[in-house]
Each structure stands twice: as structure tokens, then as C-alpha cells.
Structure 1
Amino acid sequence: MTVTYSSKVANATFFGFHRLLLRWRGSIYKLLYREFLVFALLYTIVGLIYRWVLTDPQKRLFEKLSLYCDKYAEQIPVTFVLGFYVTLVVNHWWNKFMNMPWPDRLMVLISSCVRGQDEQGRLLRRTLMRYVNLISLLVFRSISTAVCKRFPTFDHVVEAGFMTPEERKVFENINSPHFKSWIPAVWFTNLAYKARQEGRIQDDVNLQAIVSELNRYRTGCTTLFLYDWVGIPLVYTQVVTLAVYTFFSACIIGRQFLDTTQGYPGHEVDLYIPIFTLLQFFFYSGWLKVAEQLINPFGEDDDDFESNWCIDRNLQVSMMAVDDMHMNLPPMTKDIYWNDPDVRPPYTLAAADYCIPSFLGSTTDMGLSELLHGEDINIQEAGQPDSVLANMRRLLSVQEPMDVRARPSFKRHNSDISSFFSFVPDQHSHHRQETGVATNGHAPPPMLKSLSTVQEVPSVHSSDSDTHSPSHADLPTVVVCEPLGDLSASPAHEPSVSVPVPDTEHEQQSAGEAGGADSPSGDCRRLRGRSPSHRRGRRQLSFQLSRLGSRTSVRSLPSPKDALQKGFLPGPSSPGKSAPQETLLFSSCSTPQAPGPVGP
């Protein structure tokens, strides 16, 4: 049986593998100690002859031969050839193990589908399972030396109870020069069909399930037989073996310690014992021994498969499953969690550390503050890429280029909060009631009561033919109104929309009348300003949802005082000349907020 050490390495500990190095059964020391002793003995004999037997002229000749062997031995691709070969052997070894025949699925089907608790039903089930085990026995006899030693002839098979004398006569009378492990499979299918006709198998579905599982079992046995027939090509095994032994044969001469007085490169020290050469032999030859042991796991090595144990186990378990366990059910009782909806099996004190909560997803513990974390992202126009120049324009409130057309722009937060709250754009979203109820009649969401809605980036389109306005008239004046009063009375927020500013005074007056008729006096003014009649550009106001108290939102716009000091806003009007001034007020407050002067 394969040497098992899984319990020794269940936990990764400091020097956890040191206990494995002292094991003898299945170890590399047991496989390699003979070859290692032979290599060390040959190296010692050659070294003694070089030091004590050869004369000086003969020593010089041997030294040239040693340097030559050491130089050209490294050209043998031992690592490449041996590594690929061992990988191929390990893959074959694992595939053989995965195709080992286990009759567990088939015996469960036979025990449940072949009915009858009488003597005939019991005989039928046991005969079916005996044919199944006979298939694997015939295959193991042909590929495993240990099984072949146990059952060398068919007399031993009959004596062991896998075959009756009558079945042996029928088996031997079938004239076929090929391997006859298929005969018990045919007996099995014929007997299963007979049971179906007698009503022992109730329907064709159960019969098909039994036959399909038998074919699967038979396929595994045939695969093992084919691996034994066609293995790894012999030429590859010969190449690897010759490469390893030729390399170390050259090392016996080429790795000798030469006379230090001759000044040969790499031979400045005489250590007598080639430590690293011995380690190299241990690793490479051990690698080859691993392939030698795994190339046929049905032999008698320590790590080979215990085929005899598999035969004994399969026969005993399968017979018990279809005979003693057939319709043998324990009485049904209520489990200990009968009236307990919260089923939690107990933990021992040693296993208390393994009681952990269930994993519900990586975003389960994320709150709204984490969702809204990060800087606000303003996209100037739909389809326009966000660049460093665009960020500078937003920071300095510089107006957009001439060719940009005023069109609706929907801003969004970088946390994409719009995916959590469904908003419906409203052309009159700025009309709010003092009670904080939205125009659609619904109360604001609870989580939005802690959010402010103030941030505006106006875009003013100037005309090239305008010569009456001063140079600083193109820059807008922005005043941010902080939230006032109780935040719970703040109206519901709506998504980012773009509202065009009326081009003429008539349109402004109409908009004001329409808004004033519906909104109470306690509301804040949405738009207030005066524009020359000859300027017919359209202003775009972008609203963006931001976090309450977010310093990032405040920093994204310059304050009026700082903008005035830096020259971004116009100063006091000089006598005889009036500079156009625009004051934009947007707030989520519930009390009126009078617009203050922009400049001093």
C-alpha cells in the first residue's frame, strides 16, 4: 500500500517536514542507498589511484582527461530530459489510480433495484456482484504481479469462490485467443435482463442504470489493462537512463580534486570528499528512482497499489451491501433539530476556533459612507473624455470652448449611487415645499437626508462679436448656499440634470412667474441675474450629488473671496461703467436665503 503521511503534514509548522526525513519505508534512502554506495566507492577508488598509484607523467595525463570530462559532461541535458520524463510517469501513475475499479455505485443500484427477499432474489443479487468482482480479478491477474502470485491458475480462482466449476468449464470452452475478461460482463447483462423479465427489476429505467454502471466499471478495468499493454515508450526510458548514468560516469573522473600546485582553474582547494557531487548524484538518481518506482504501480514496491487488498475489500463490501443490507433499514425517528429552525451542530472546546460566520459577499459590511467615499467626478460633456485639462477647468471655473453646444448633461458620483436610488428627472426639481416633501408627493429616502445637493459648474457661451463686455465678464459668479436648519426636512434629491438659463429677460420673467405661482415664499430662489439682451448664449447648470460635509465638494469650487483675490471675479463697478453680474443660488435649505453681494 502507498505510504501515507497526510496526518503528519496536516498543518504547516516550523520544520514540519523534519519528521518525514527520518522515515525508512517508502523513502528515497531505501531506494537509492545501493547506487549511492557504488558511486561513492568508484569515486574513492579512482581518487586513490590518481593520488598514490600514478606517476607524475601519468597524473598530468589524468588531469587533462579529468578537465575534459568535467567540461563536456555539463552538455548532457540531464535536468530537462529527466524532469519531463518524471512528469510523464507521474501523470500515468495518477491516471491508473483514478481508474481503479470500485463497485460501490453498482452494488448500491443492485441492492435497491433488484427486488426480492426470498432465496431466489438473494441468489440473484449475490451472483451479479460475484460477476462484477470476477471482472476485476481477471484484470488484476494480468497486470499485477502480487495478484498473479496469489491466483496463478483458474483452480485458485475457483477455490477462492469467484467462479464455480460449471462457470469455469463454460469460460474455458469459449475459444478466443484474446483476453477474456469480457465474459463475466456478458453473463452479468444476461442475468440482469432475465431478472427484468421475471419482475425482479421493476422497469427498464433501473435496468438501463445498472447496465450503464456496469459499462463504466468495465471501462475502468479495460483502461488499466491498456495502460499495462501500452506504456511509456521504451526508447524514452532508455534515453533518460543512459543520460543519467553517463553523466555520473563522467563525474567520477571529471569531479576529482586535482593537484593544487598545477594551477588548474577551479582546483585551488583539495577537499578529498566531493560534497556537492554526491548531493547532485543523490538528487538526480533519486529523481530517476521515483520514475522507476511509479512507472508500474502494480508491482511489489512500497508505494505500489495494494491490488490484493482492493480485491478483498470489494468482495466483502459488495456481498454485504446486496445481501445483509438489502431492505435492512433502521427505524425512523425524529432528529434532535425537529422543532428547531436554527440548526447549529455543537462544537467541542478544541474545535471552538472553527466556528465562524457564513460568508455573504465582500460588499456585505460596506456602508453608505464607504459607497460615497472618494472624490466627486464631473464630466463636462457627454462623450468628452475626462483629462487633466478638464480637471483644471473645473477647478478654476473656466468656461468651456466655443464649439461646445449646450445640451443636457447628467453627472454622477464615482460611487455610482444612482444604482441604489431610483430618481425621476423633473424639469421643476428646484420647486420644494417647506416641509421637505418632493414634488411627486413621496417622502425623501432616509439615507438621503444626510446628503447635500450643492455643486454647480456653469458653462457660459460667449460671443466673439461682443465688444461691450469687459474681459472678466465671461467668468461666472458662483455662490454656494450651505444647508440650513434640520437636515431631516431637506427635500428629496434628484439626479444630476442640466437646466438651460433663459436667454432673454422676458423668458426669465416668465420662468419666475411660473415658479412663483406654485412655490411658497419660504423657498430659496433658484436663478437670479441680469444678462444683456444682445448676448444670446445658453448657460448650462450642472447639479451633482455630493456627500454632506465633504471637503472635496467644497474644494472643487473657489470661494467668492478667494476668486476675487485671484482675479477670477469682477471687482466693484467703476463709475460710469456697470459690469454684468450673475449670482447663481442653489440650495437644499428650507428657509429663504437672500443673495448677498459677490464682491466687496
Structure 2
Amino acid sequence: MTVTYSSKVANATFFGFHRLLVRWRGSIYKLLYREFLVFALLYSILSVVYRWVLTDPQKRLFEKLSIYCDRYAEQIPVTFVLGFYVTLVVNRWWNQFQNLPWPDRLMFLISSCVQGRDEQGRLLRRTLMRYVNLTSLLIFRSVSTAVCKRFPTIDHVVEAGFMTQEERKIFENLKSPHLKYWVPVVWFTNLASKARKEGRIKDSVDLQTILNEMNRFRSWCSTLFGYDWVGIPLVYTQVVTLAVYTFFSACIIGRQFLDPAQGYQGHDLDLYVPVFTLLQFFFYSGWLKVAEQLINPFGEDDDDFEPNWCIDRNLQVSLMAVDEMHMNIPHMTKDIYWNDPDVRPPYTRASQESHGKPNQCFSHQTSLEAPGFYWNLHLSTPVPSIQCSQSIGSNVVWSLDRVKIWNVW
């Protein structure tokens, strides 16, 4: 469900971002239009009441209330609390993405270190990878509503092939009140140790490497569980939400256009439509909506992560790597540059402009002539020369009446 637009902004162009402003899926318009319409409607209703319903004495009282709300609404630190809150939410969101469990390193190790092209070797490698994928599936079920809808019970996990009936019995017979995503990790480590004893894993170094990588995979799963368990303190979320909605509740009264005939300061014009107040609502409430969408990236919003895709991809790729591709090596042939020391891959006509020259350091083959002076490398000022000849790392040579600097990289 992630909205990807990188290809649309690959190059900086004139008004390059304007094409993104008309997109609906994942946009701020889709998130905010309901609140925006409610705010505009409430403002309009109050404006109509002020202009055509209230009596003159009531209008004077309302005008005093409006000026009061406008003056003191600015004391609500909306920008301050929103800025810190959104920064915290975005950092958590990105950290959760960085801790998504990917089995790639494990499948490379298992494919190369767990030997045997017979039926038992194939079964061993596939079972190890199935335990890896089962671990991630169990943790995704606990943190993602989309995955929980897809696999609401262990029956669905068994039916999808992540767990056998025998494994299910063992899993359910383990009496523990805690989330049991770690059980497949124990199965994995025990099976890997058994493979070492049987000689399927040739030495203990390979076994240790596999177990270390599995422990790293487990730590990713534990981190996701921790983020789901310990969220941003509720009081912080409440403070930010109340600050934003209190501010704009005051704006509904305080930003009304008052009768210019009364001579109130700043109310010389009656424009009916509060353009900049609406823009302020759009930006501040949109800022809050960013936090609302990113605070739990495992939901079903347009820009949330796609754990169901991760589950499908990881299972398919990992089983292929340890089974079909195990020791399936292409025949080695000489590359086309075998006898050519000047290797230059070709460019298409469309990519010729991207062909750049090798980067040269500023001091590359640069000669500084300064008779009677040498350059002090620490003070960066010319100092009268002295009789010396010294080499520093073969890069700098000082002489009596000149200094030469060249690059020998």
C-alpha cells in the first residue's frame, strides 16, 4: 500500500513537485478533507449567525469575545508541540522500517553452508528457512492488522504451509501467556545443531555464523514487538491533539470578520472567506495527520508498510535460494574484457550525457611556485623559506625557494 513516486521526481525540473500535488492516493487531501469541511462549515454557520441572527447588543458582545479569542489563541504553542511530536513519530516510523525482518542473509548462509543435494539435505534447508519465515509471520500477526486479517488463527498459518500439524500441536502445548514468536527460533537452533552433528554443516564456524545471523533476525522481530508494546506516551499524543483542536476551536470565533464600521484594529476589511485561516488549518492539521498516519505503520493506510507483501516475497525467495538454486552454479566463461586492460562498458545514446570524467582531487598535479617562501601547512600563511628538504608521506616536498605539491594516489 506504500505510495511510491520516486520516478516522478528523479530529476529537478521547473515546478518539479507540482505533479505530485494532484495525486489523490496517499495525499493530504484524502486524509484531511473531512476535518477541513467540518471546520469550514462551523466557521460559516457562526459567520451567518453573527451577521444575520444576532441583535446589535449581541453583536457587540460577540465582537469582544472574538477579539479575546484571537488575542489569546496565539499563546497556544501549536508549532512547538507539533514539531517535536512529528519528529518523534517520523523517527519511530523509520526505525521500524529499518528493523523489518528480511531472511536474505540467512538464506545465503544456509544455501552455502548446509550441504547435501539429496532429499534429506533439501528437507533440512527448506525446514530451516520455513522456521525463519514462520518467526516473522508470527511477529507480523501481532503488530499488523492487515496480516492478522489474513491469518486470524493458527489454522490459517498451518493451511498456508508455514507450520505442520505436528508443529502446531507442540506450539499449542507450550503453556505460556507470552507471545510465542520465539518458538520457531528454538526449533531453528536445535535443527542447526543437529545438522552440525550429522556433518551437514562442515565446521563449527559455519554453525556459529548461522546462529549469529538468526539471532540478528530474532532481534529485528523483537524490536518490532517492542515498538508495538511501548508506544509514544498517550499523554503526549493527547497534549498535541488538544493543542491543535483547541487552537482551531478558538479560531472559529477569533478569526471571524467583524463589522468594519466598529473600527476594531485589524478589522478594516470584510472578506467573508478567511483564506489564511483555512490555509493555517490545512497546514497544522495536515501536520497532525502526518503523525496520525505514521504512528502505526502496520495499519491499512495508503502509506503504511506492506507486511503481507514481505511475507509472500520472503517465503518465495528464501525457499528458491536454498532449494532450486542450491549449488546451481552457471558455467564459468571468460568475460568480454578478458584481454582488454582498458575496461569501458558502452553507453546508449540516451545515457551519453551521464558519462562523466573521473574525479580529480584539487591538488592533483598542482604546482605552487613561491620563490623565497614555503607554505606553512598549519598556519596557512606564507613564511620566509628556510634551508630544508623534507618529505611527508611522499605527498609534499619543501625546498629552499619553492614548494611543490602533487597527488600520488
**1:5-27 per-position Cα deviation (integer Å, ceiling 9, x unaligned):** 11111111110001000000000
The equivalent residue for 1:570 is none
Listed as ranges, the matches of 1:137-286 within 5 Å are 137-286=137-286
Match of 2:289 in 1: 289
Provide TM-score, normalisation by structure 1. 0.63
In the TM superposition, 1:431-580 aligns within 5 A as: 495=400, 545=401
Cα distance per residue 1:555-590 (max 9 Å; x no partner) = xxxxxxxxxxxxxxxxxxxxxxxxxxxxxxxxxxxx
- Of the three residues 365, 369, 372, the one matched with 2:369 is 372
Q: State which structure, 1 or 2, has the greater radius of gyration over its C-alpha atoms.
A: 1
Shift in Å, 1:410: 2.8
Distance change (3 Å), C-alpha of 1:73 and 1:334: same
1:318 aligned residue? 318
**In structure 2, what residue type is equivalent to 1:65?**
L
Residue 59 (structure 1) aligns with: 59
Asked if structure 2 preserves the Cα contact closer than 8 Å seen for 1:115 and 1:201, the reply is yes
Q: For 2:48 and 2:354, how far apart are their aligned partners in 1?
A: 63
Q: CA deviation at 1:421?
A: 5.8
Contact (CA 8 Å) 2:128, 2:188: kept in 1 or not?
yes
Aligned length: 395
Matches within 5 A, 1:39-78: 39-78=39-78
CA distance in 2, matches of 1:546, 1:28: 64
Is the Cα contact below 8 Å between 2:89 and 2:291 reproduced in 1? yes
CA distance in 1, matches of 2:268, 2:258: 9
Task: Determine the C-alpha separation between the residues in 1 that align with 2:347 and 2:166.
Answer: 58
For the structure 1 residues 301 and 332, does the alpha-carbon distance in structure 2 shift closer, same or farther, using more than 3 Å as the test? same
Residue 435 of structure 1 corresponds to which residue in structure 2?
Answer: none
CA distance in 2, matches of 1:58, 1:231: 48
What is the CA deviation profile of residues 289-331 of structure 1, one whole-angstrom value per residue up to 9, with x for unaligned ones? Answer: 0000000000000000011111011000011111100111111
Deviation at 1:377, TM superposition (A): 4.7
Displacement after TM superposition at 1:411 (Å): 6.5
**CA–CA separation in structure 2 for the residues paired with 1:546 and 1:184:** 71
- Aligned 8 A contact 1:196 1:203 in 2: yes
User: Once the 2 structures are TM-superposed, how far is the Cα of residue 49 of structure 1 from its aligned partner?
Assistant: 0.1
How far apart, in 2, do the equivalents of 1:180 and 1:346 lie?
54
**1:81, 1:203 → 2: CA distance?**
56
The CA deviation at 1:357 is 2.3
Q: CA deviation at 1:187?
A: 0.4
2:379 corresponds to 1:410: no
1:130, 1:315 within 8 Å by CA — same for their partners in 2? yes
Structure-2-length-normalised TM-score: 0.93
Cα 1:343–1:377 change in 2 (3 A) is: closer
> What displacement does 1:356 show?
2.1
* Cα pair 1:143 1:225 within 8 Å, conserved: yes
**How far apart, CA to CA, are the structure 2 residues paired with 1:81 and 1:165?**
52
Cα distance in 2 for partners of 1:307, 1:422 equals 63
Alpha-carbon distance in structure 1 between the residues aligned to 2:211 and 2:308: 26
Alpha-carbon separation, structure 1, partners of 2:350 and 2:372: 50
CA distance in 2, matches of 1:93, 1:82: 16
Q: Is the 8 A contact 2:374 2:398 kept in 1?
A: no
**3-state SS of 2:97 partner:** helix
Query: Where does residue 574 of structure 1 map in the other structure?
Result: none
Q: Deviations over 1:216-238 (max 9, x none)?
A: 00100110000000010000000
**Cα displacement (A) at 1:354:** 2.1
Q: 1:358 to 1:56 in 2, by over 3 A?
A: same
The answer to whether the 8 A contact 1:378-1:411 is kept is no
Partner Cα distance (1:63, 1:105) in 2 = 68
Counterpart residue type for residue 386 of structure 2: F
Partner of 2:308: 308
Alpha-carbon displacement from aligned partner over 1:429-459 (angstroms, at most 9, x marks no partner): xxxxxxxxxxxxxxxxxxxxxxxxxxxxxxx
Write the distance in 2 (CA, Å) between the matches of 1:246 and 1:355.
56
Contact 1:248 1:281 in 2 (8 A): yes
Query: Corresponding residue for 2:80?
Result: 80
Could you tell me how far apart the structure 1 residues matched to 2:184 and 2:329 are?
31
Deviations 1:60-92 (A, max 9, x none): 000000000000000000000001100000000
TM superposition shift of 1:212: 0.5
Code of the aligned partner of 1:250: A
Q: Return the alpha-carbon distance in structure 2 between the equivalents of residues 286 and 209 of structure 1.
A: 47
The one-character-per-residue Cα deviations of 1:164-210 (angstroms, maximum 9, x if unpaired) are 01100000111111111111000001100111111100000110011
Distance 1:355 1:297 in 2: 40
Larger relative contact order (Cα-Cα within 8 Å, sequence gap ≥ 6): 2
CA distance 1:135–1:49, change in 2 (3 Å): same
CA contact (8 A) 2:373 2:402 kept: no
Partner of 2:14: 14
Q: Give me the identity figure in percent.
A: 76
Task: Give the SS at the match of 2:318.
Answer: helix
More helix by share: 2
**Preserved contact between residue 141 and residue 147 of structure 1 (Cα < 8 Å):** yes
Aligned to 1:575: none
CA gap of 1:59–1:420, structure 2 versus 1, over 3 A, is closer
CA, structure 1 residues 173+274, in 2 after alignment: closer, same or farther (shift >3 Å)? same
Aligned residue type for 1:321: A
Quote how far apart the aligned CAs of 1:350 are: 1.5
Compute the displacement of 1:351 (Å): 1.4
1:94 aligns with 2:94: yes
Q: 4+ residue stretches of structure 1 with deviation over 3 A?
A: 375-379, 419-423
Task: Provide the residue aligned with 2:407 in structure 1.
Answer: none
- 1:108–1:321: 8 Å Cα contact kept in structure 2? yes
